[in-house]
Chain A
Amino acid sequence: MSTTTMTAPADKKSHSLALKAGVVLVGVHIAIGLLTLVWLPYDPTAMAGGRLEGPSLLHWLGTDRLGRDLFTQMMIGSRIALIVGVGAVTIGAVIGVTLGLLAAFASKWLDDALAATLDILIAFPTLLIAMLVVAASDTANLWSAIFALGIALSAIVARLTRILAKRVLVMDYITAARTSGSGWPKIVAIHILPNIWPTLSVNFALQFGLAVIAEASLSYLGLGAPPPNASWGRILQEAQGTVYTAPLGAIAPGIALVSLAIGVNLLADGLRDTIDPTRRAR
């Protein structure tokens, strides 16, 4: 027992530290992403330097094979990662929450059918579904990648929404609302969404990280945003052949990717601890 009382405050402290670290990591990427809208060190497509130059005052991270500034590419990579994360999570949320609520309210057979479909979809890795969606579309571009990831994520969101909504739906106050004549749109808006929102938003944060990594994987495989869009995955892929002579080209996008993914996860963990009432009570 004494150990529990000893570790609890420490736990809480590390959690808030994690949250802070998450905010800082994600904040840096957001700041860089916003900065790219107004300022870049170089034109991203300009072949401003020599082949595979090392880091210097002119090129902080050196240049790639075509002599393009790597730091500029990395900055644009931040912007693309954020766009992909926000876009994919938004699409996933809209489709997923709608489907999940539909299943929760539906008759038994429709609910069963939807639940089975979602289970099948979730059985496939997110990346695989996204690859299928991209392959089915005519041309690969940033938006098709975002759409594909949104679709892939929506299954996970839908299943979570369905379970959470069902848990709320059996509550007495829902029965009370129903008997007092509230229609389902009102029940959803007033009772269900506010109740399940904290859990969903933590999940969205986790999915954000998933989407960023998945987009990098798609770009690495040549299925993401076409060149010259400087997605981290593409930078990584193009640097693969030169990893011995210019390792920064592979290390930089790797670090960027990991820092954003870890940042988002820390943020999600922290959010869960602040939002989730059961955890707060502990």
Chain B
Amino acid sequence: MKQIVKILTLLLAVTAVWIGLLQTSTIPESYTWLLPLYLIVSLGCYGLLMVGVGLMNFPTCPQEALFLQQDIIEAKEFLKKKGVDVGSD
């Protein structure tokens, strides 16, 4: 099943539940009408939260840049000895 179909099916199922709630009035109807709005707001909050948390915990590796510099120096020395032209840039 294509991903878009999966997502639409999920949406359809949620809509069906919502319509069910509207029909049976298990909770007051005025609340039920607001549920889609809550859904959209909570989806937005979820997105922002995930981006925020991801940004806060963004893994960085400054020490790797230093290691790489050392590796580059080592590699250049070796290659120069072997006659590979690494000096020009």
Same complex origin of A and B: no
